[in-house]
């Protein structure tokens, strides 16, 4: 039996949904939990010799203890700009510098703050679900166009819509799993 003319569409839909899940995981990594996570520094850009540079490109970031981030710049002159950048950020973490490295102590989260982070995670997951549904809509629109152009018979188009819905359900479930794991991390004391 020859492959369905919609197979490439299904493959492309899965690839787009994989990217949406990847972006969601990146976004979730930036939400603080009670443990140190280097991803919370990903959005910070340091003014380094007139160029806004990500901290990861200027230093080694390690987690020596569960609630401590250690930032060790490769160039000693980057220490002060990194420290200023962290102070200006909305992280709310005061950097401690000893002249060679910067230590960020992650404070224990209050229950109220944990709930705020859970709400933020739910919001990001809903955005992920919306992205997946938008991809589904695009795939369904493509199937309809192909059906109108008589490239795909009506019964195959119906099966195509069903297949796209199955793929969507699978990825919505993945979004829910990401949310479950993040919520567990946030609420863990």
What local confidence, expressed as pLDDT, does residue 189 receive?
A: 63
pLDDT of residue 2: 45
> In the predicted model, what is the mean pLDDT of residues 165-178?
96
Burial class from Cβ neighbours inside 10 Å (0-12, 13-18, 19+) for residue 132 reads: buried
Q: What is the pLDDT of residues 56-100, one digit of tens each?
A: 889 999 988 888 989 999 988 889 999 988 888 877 788 888 888
Q: pLDDT tens digits for 140-153?
A: 999 999 999 998 89
Share of the chain above pLDDT 70, in %: 98
Q: Which domains does the chain have, with CATH numbers?
A: 7-30+110-187 (1.10.132.20), 38-105 (3.30.1360.40)
CA–CA separation, 46 vs 57, rounded Å? Answer: 10
Residues 6+ apart with CB under 8 A from 6: 143, 146, 152, 156, 160, 163
Who's near 11: CB < 8 A, 6+ residues apart?
Answer: none
How many whole angstroms separate alpha carbon 6 and alpha carbon 22?
24
Rounded to whole angstroms, the Cα distance separating 12 from 139 reads 9
């Amino acid at each position: 039996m020859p492959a369905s003319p919609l197979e490439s569409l299904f493959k492309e839909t899965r690839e787009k949904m994989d990217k949406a899940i990847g972006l969601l995981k990146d976004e979730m990594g930036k939400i603080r939990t009670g443990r140190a996570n280097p991803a919370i520094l990903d959005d910070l850009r340091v003014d380094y010799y007139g160029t806004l540079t990500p901290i990861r490109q200027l230093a080694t970031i390690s987690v020596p203890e569960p609630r401590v981030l250690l930032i060790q710049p490769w160039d000693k002159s980057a220490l002060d700009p990194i420290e200023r950048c962290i102070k200006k950020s909305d992280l709310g973490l005061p950097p401690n510098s000893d002249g060679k490295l910067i230590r960020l102590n992650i404070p224990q989260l209050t229950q109220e703050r944990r709930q705020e982070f859970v709400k933020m995670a739910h919001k990001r997951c809903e955005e992920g679900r919306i992205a997946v549904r938008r991809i589904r809509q695009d795939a369904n629109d493509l199937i309809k166009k192909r059906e109108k152009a008589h490239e795909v018979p009506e019964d195959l188009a119906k099966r195509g819509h069903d297949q796209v819905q199955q793929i969507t359900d699978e990825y919505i479930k993945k979004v829910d799993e990401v949310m479950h794991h993040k919520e567990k991390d946030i609420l863990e004391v």
